[in-house]
């Protein structure tokens, strides 16, 4: 079945450091790919998405590129802030489906 694998955390960084969170997926066809973020005490929020191969999703300084050849959707940010401390979830939506399949989440802690 469909699955999403992302790197385990926690990831601890200093402010202004470069952040990468790896995400790979297994699915038939051409799913849409998403990154969701969960800030402390809040619900899941969509961060960015890409719906086809080679698309780049971007938002709030974060970027991820849909790589069909490596079945990956790695999340990157060039200079993190303390306010980026959160749990990040990679997810996929199958081409003919409605439900999201999530990875296990990666906790990121940015220290000043």
Partner 1 sequence: GAGVSQSPRYKVAKRGQDVALRCDPISGHVSLFWYQQALGQGPEFLTYFQNEAQLDKSGLPSDRFFAERPEGSVSTLKIQRTQQEDSAVYLCASRSTGRDTEAFFGQGTRLTVV
Among 29, 40, 43, 112, binds partner 1 (CB under 8 A): 43
Q: Is 64 helix (H, G, I), strand (E, B) or coil?
A: strand
Distance of CA 2 to the CA centre of its chain: 16
* Calpha distance 62→76 (Å, rounded): 6
Per CB under 8 A, contacts with partner 1 among 53-92 are: 89, 91
- Applying CB under 8 A, does 32 fall inside the site for partner 1? yes
50 binds partner 1 (CB under 8 A): no
Question: How far is 112 from 95, CA to CA, in rounded Å?
Answer: 41
Residues that bind partner 1 (CB under 8 A): 4, 32, 36, 41-46, 51, 89, 91, 93, 97-105
């Amino acid at each position: 079945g469909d699955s999403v694998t992302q790197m385990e955390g926690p990831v601890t960084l200093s402010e202004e450091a470069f952040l990468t969170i790896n995400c790979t997926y297994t699915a038939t066809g051409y799913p849409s790919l998403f990154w969701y973020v969960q800030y402390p005490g809040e619900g899941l929020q969509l961060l960015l998405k890409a719906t086809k191969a080679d698309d780049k999703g971007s938002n709030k300084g974060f970027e991820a590129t849909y790589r069909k050849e490596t079945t990956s959707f790695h999340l990157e940010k060039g200079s993190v802030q303390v306010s980026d401390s959160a749990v990040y979830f990679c997810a996929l939506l199958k081409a003919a489906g409605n439900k999201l399949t999530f990875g296990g989440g990666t906790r990121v802690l940015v220290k000043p």
